[in-house]
Amino acid sequence: MVNAVDYLVAEGLIAEHDKECWELVVEIENVQVGVPDSIKQMIERQIDHLDTNEQRTLEAASVAGAEFSTLSVAAGLGEDRASVEERCDVLARQRQFIQDCGVQALPNGEAVTRYGFIHALYQNVLYERVSPSRRVQLHRRIGEQGEMLYGERAREIAAELAMHFERGSNYKQAVKYLQQAADNDIRRFAYQDAVGLSRRGLELLWRLPETPERAEQELCLQLTLGVPLIATEGYAAPDVGTVYLKARELCQQLGETPDVSEVLWGLRTFYTVRAELGTAREIAEEFLRLAERLPYPGLAMRGHWALEITFMHLGEFALTMEHFEKALSLYDPAQHLDDAFLYAQNPGVAMRCFAAWALWFLGQPDQALDRIQEALTQARELSEPHGLAQLLFFGAILHQLRREERRAQEHAEAAIAVSREHGLALYQAMATITRGWALSEQGLEEEGIEQMRQGLAAYQATGAEVIRPHFLALLAEALGKARQADEGLRVSEEALALAHRNGERYYEAELYRLKGELLLMQSTGRSVSRAAPAGKAVVKAEPPAVSNAEGCFNQSIKIAQRQNAKSLELRAVMSVARLYQNQGRQEEARSLLAQTYNRFTEGVDTMDLREAKALLDALS
């Protein structure tokens, strides 16, 4: 240890800080720690005391890995396994360089002894003794032997095989196993590792001749890379777009292979989350056209599911549910069990999330809750973190829509916890915004607004634009509660401009209602929703402010009626009814509100309907 520290100091990698501690003075990724000469010489002398066969065995073992089987070493040396095992056993019993690591059962049922180096320094010094040409030969032999032993189960040791074939200059096999190793990491939710392995595979691919087979391998690697990139950087990240655009180019080059489904889905999610909804809709419709002429399973289901998502964002709630029902009828849980690892989403979870939101807007808040509960049950059964984070976020927003701030906070915090554990940048940002709204609703306006701003900044950093008008509406609402009406109005105007530019209109009606409330607050210091029953605060408002606010409320009603968004229509009607009440127009207020309220057949225990009932009673 003393020699190792002396080496780090001599190389200028660490330096004393304040005479109390030592610190790294270069970036960790730039550190290439070798073996200090003094330690290397000491180990070399120990090796020189061994006979030639023992030295050759340990050198081959250093190539096999920090832990190795005698079969691997025997394959590298081209020797009898019994002789190699006898030497390793002697060395291990004498605690010379290696130790016994137990017995490994191979896929064919055969048992083989495994050994491991006592210290990494031993392996490093021994590896450096092997000439470059011999290393290549040893790595290749060991890789081929592992491939033969594991056969159809070679995927289980894909990372190990990839290393051996890369160092053995067999780049074709290295690329194959790098892709499989990346897929293994995706399935154990090690997304960053999967990104690194996929990218390494793509780098090695360019060492192979340009053939259709190479194009197929590249397509497979690009699609493998897309899933962990979505998880760690978000659907709308530039790198994600690059991956799926390249995949589409390769797909067109190779013809319409079954991979076309993954390619189109990746592109559709990229454009959707960037709020390029027209392009996303075109791709969704392309799924349905392909389903008519290609035999690949799932195309029609994905087409209807994609249209469900697109229409939800466009504010076409009836069409959202129509395509949800069609997608659900085509969905086979067994067939799509692995979809989260190929498409970054499980259909059974995700399609219910969007349906839940649409049901709330359509005035069916209880059915919406049922759909979220169904999705939660399935997400927990799958235990896939990306899908669970998505479900928890959608649940948080549903509770926000239902004005259940504590439940919204619980779901948001659960989504944040899952996202932090697995590095899910997009869902962590969205859940942070939702948590901020929940805190604001519970009287912690300053903390809530700060969290929302942080979440919005993190959200935009992923390249995402979709849902941002909704998020800005939540921020505007929180600013209103904090009596920052001017800033709230600025934010609501920004949200409306964004909704009009992107065509994402599902929250447009609520944005106009909020703008009306903030206009009144700007004039009176209180929104009509918070005004006293006698209405003095609103009566004192400047006539232009009242007129403009009423115009916003009426615009909100008009949009909600066009979208059949009964829940948002009720909110806007309540704002108008309160305004009329404060102006002494009791009968108009009661008549208007009663017509809307009486159309609801469920959700009587939700906050909006309870307040509507209380207002009706007050107007009677």
Model confidence over 406-462: pLDDT tens digits?
Answer: 999 999 999 999 999 999 999 999 999 999 999 999 999 999 999 999 999 999 999
Question: What pLDDT sits at residue 340?
Answer: 77
Q: Is residue 282 part of a domain?
A: no
114 and 167 in a common domain: no
Quick one: average pLDDT of 493-510?
A: 97
Among candidate residues 458, 326, 481, 470, the one with its CA nearest the CA of residue 401 = 470
Task: Indicate the pLDDT class of residue 544, thresholds 50, 70 and 90.
Answer: confident
Residue 54 reports pLDDT greater than 60:
yes
CA distance 228 to 475: 30
- Mark whether 141 and 116 lie in a shared domain: no
Q: How confident is the model at residue 229 (pLDDT cuts 50, 70, 90)?
A: very high
**How far apart are alpha carbons 406 and 435 in whole angstroms?**
9
Same domain, 561 and 586: yes
Residues 406 and 450 in one domain: yes
Q: For residues 401 and 606, give the distance between their C-alpha atoms in angstroms, rounded to a whole number.
A: 10
- Please say whether the dihedral angle defined by the alpha carbons of residues 186, 188, 192 and 196, taken in this order, is positive or negative: negative
Count of residues for the chain? Answer: 620
Claim to verify: residue 174 and residue 119 sit in the same structural domain: no
Does 576 fall in a domain?
yes
* Whether residue 530 sits in one domain with residue 607: yes
Residues 190, 94: one domain?
Answer: no
Residue 180 in domain: yes
Output the pLDDT for position 535.
40
**Last residue of one domain, picked from the residues 101, 130, 159:** 130
- SS3 letters across 264-302: HHHHHHHHHHCCCHHHHHHHHHHHHHHHHHCCCCCHHHH
Examine the fold and report which residue of 107, 130, 153 is the final residue of a domain before the chain moves on: 130
Structural domain tally of the chain? 5
Q: Torsions phi, psi of 111, nearest 5? A: -100, 140
**Domain-located, residue 339:** no
Mean pLDDT score, 158-177: 96
Query: What SS3 state is found at 104?
Result: strand
Structure tokens at 490: 């600025």
Residue 541 has pLDDT above 70, yes or no: no
pLDDT band at 266 (very low <50, low <70, confident <90, very high): very high
For 15-32, what is each residue's pLDDT tens digit? 776 666 777 666 655 555
Tokens of 481: 């509660």
Supply the pLDDT for residue 167. Answer: 96
pLDDT of residue 19: 63
Furthest-apart CA pair in the chain: how many Å? 106
For residue 508, the one-letter residue type is: E
Residues 120 and 145 grouped into a single domain? no
Within a domain: residue 138? Answer: yes
Round to whole Å and give the CA distance between 405 and 437. 8
Least confident of 10-24, 128-142, 273-287, 380-394: 10-24
**Domain of residue 560, residue span:** 526-620
CATH number at residue 477: 1.25.40.10
Q: Does the pLDDT value for residue 583 go beyond 60?
A: yes
Domain for residue 552, yes or no?
yes
Query: By C-alpha distance, which of 611, 584, 586, 587 is closest to 600?
Result: 611
Average pLDDT of the residues in 540-559? 89
Rounded CA separation 69/80 (Å): 13
Domain-embedded: residue 60: yes
In this prediction, residue 508 has a pLDDT band, given cuts at 50, 70 and 90, of very high
| Mean pLDDT for all residues in the chain | 91
Q: How confident is the model at residue 176 (pLDDT cuts 50, 70, 90)?
A: very high
Cα-trace Rg, the chain: 32
Lowest model confidence (mean pLDDT) among 74-83, 120-129, 330-339: 330-339
Q: Is residue 305 in some structural domain?
A: no
What's 126-162 look like in SS3?
HHHHCCHHHHHHHHHHHHHHHHHHHHHHHHHHHHHHH
Please check the confidence at residue 470 and state whether its pLDDT lies above 90.
yes
Write the CATH number for 57. Answer: 1.10.10.10
The arithmetic mean of pLDDT across residues 275-289, rounded, is 96
Q: Which residues contact 417 (CB under 8 A, 6 or more apart)?
A: none
Which tens digits make up the pLDDT trace of 340-378?
A: 778 788 999 999 999 999 999 999 999 999 999 999 999
Same domain, 120 and 89: yes
Among 133-147, 425-439, 443-457, 517-531, the range scoring the smallest mean pLDDT is 517-531
Residue 528 clears pLDDT 80, i.e. is over it: no
Question: Do 152 and 124 reside in the same domain of the chain?
Answer: no
Residues 116-127: tens digit of each pLDDT: 999 989 999 999
Specify the pLDDT at position 23. Answer: 74
Q: Averaged over 320-326, what is the pLDDT?
A: 98
Q: Mean per-residue pLDDT for 241-254?
A: 95
Q: E strand or H helix at 387, and its extent?
A: helix 385-401
Of the residues 176, 204, 236, which one is the last residue of a structural domain? 236
- The Cβ of residue 571 has, within 10 Å, a number of other Cβ atoms equal to 25
Both 440 and 458 in a single domain?
yes
Are 531 and 612 within one domain?
A: yes
